[in-house]
């Protein structure tokens, strides 16, 4: 990998490219978003991100995950990508599923979570979510209910902070990304540009469900870093809050 910005240019590895440990806000953890996209904006090929990924992208993915106490993911992405338990001791997976559509038989829930003291994965849903679906997750996940018509993401982030989380890494999908951005809860965006043109109707990295809330005002981000590895480009954007 070679850092192009900030100057001066220099060789870096994924660990240094991930940057220093982030600091939480006073009332919630720091929130990173990490996604891969084609040069024409597709966030998936045939519904999965794997076709866009590469060894450099996986290295950056792992380095960013190492920064996070909690990995946040939407139910649709967790189901499609067949999420597994976090490998790093102390890290936790949290699935956002307002309708509790997350598959209770995912490896995330069916495999032993690690040491006997390892916490169960979290599933955050609404206060009125289906009780039968909640029962199917009993003993497999810790259920957190917040919000009525949709999950209250700020309240959940504050809950994570009360559990000791300092840094949260969101891995999509597009609807969850859009919700976090709309609520102005994203502190940085890490985007891998894959050297592919997909040319389909694949979703973008942030796209709200049809019939969702009106689009929020645009958010300003500042360029934080640009790194190149062969034809793969990594760009970090930091939220401008001044």
Mean pLDDT of each 10-residue bin along the chain, 242 residues long: 92 92 95 95 88 91 94 95 88 94 92 64 94 92 93 96 96 93 95 91 79 74 95 95 76
Write down the pLDDT at residue 213. 62
Sign of CA dihedral 141, 190, 225, 45: positive
227 contacts 1 by C-beta, under 8 angstroms: yes
Using omega within 30 degrees of 0 as the cis cutoff, is the peptide bond preceding 173 cis?
A: yes
> Residue 111 corresponds to which tokens in the numbers above?
């495999």
Write down the pLDDT at residue 174. 92
- The closest alpha carbon to 60, from 9, 1, 6, belongs to 1
Which residue segments constitute the domains of the chain, with CATH numbers given?
A: 1-69+166-209+216-242 (3.40.430.10), 73-164 (3.40.430.10)
Write down the pLDDT at residue 212. 59
Burial (CB count within 10 angstroms: exposed 0-12, middle 13-18, buried 19+), residue 172:
buried
The residues, ordered by sequence, that sit 6+ positions from 11 with a Cβ below 8 Å of its Cβ are 1, 2, 3
Write down the pLDDT at residue 114. 53
């Amino acid at each position: 990998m070679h850092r192009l910005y900030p100057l001066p240019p220099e060789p870096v590895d994924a660990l240094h490219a991930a940057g220093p440990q982030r600091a939480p806000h006073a009332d919630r953890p720091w929130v990173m978003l990490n996604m891969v996209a084609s040069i024409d904006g597709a966030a998936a090929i045939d519904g999965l991100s794997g076709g866009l990924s590469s060894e450099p992208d996986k290295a950056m993915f792992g380095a960013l995950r190492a920064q996070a106490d909690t990995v946040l993911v939407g139910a649709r992405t967790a189901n499609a990508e067949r999420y597994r338990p976090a490998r790093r001791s102390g890290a936790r997976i949290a699935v956002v599923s307002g309708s509790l559509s997350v598959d209770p038989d995912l490896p995330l829930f069916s495999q032993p979570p690690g040491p006997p003291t390892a916490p169960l994965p979290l599933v955050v849903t609404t206060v009125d979510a289906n009780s039968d679906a909640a029962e199917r997750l009993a003993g497999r996940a810790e259920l957190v209910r917040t919000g009525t018509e949709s999950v209250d993401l700020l309240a959940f982030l504050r809950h994570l902070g009360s559990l000791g989380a300092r840094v949260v890494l969101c891995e999509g999908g597009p609807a969850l990304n859009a919700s976090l951005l709309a609520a102005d809860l994203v502190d940085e965006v890490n985007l891998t540009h894959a050297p592919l043109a997909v040319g389909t109707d694949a979703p973008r990295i942030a796209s709200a469900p049809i019939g969702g809330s009106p689009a929020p005002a645009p958010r300003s981000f500042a360029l934080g870093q640009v790194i190149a590895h062969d034809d793969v480009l990594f760009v970090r954007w930091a939220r401008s809050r001044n």
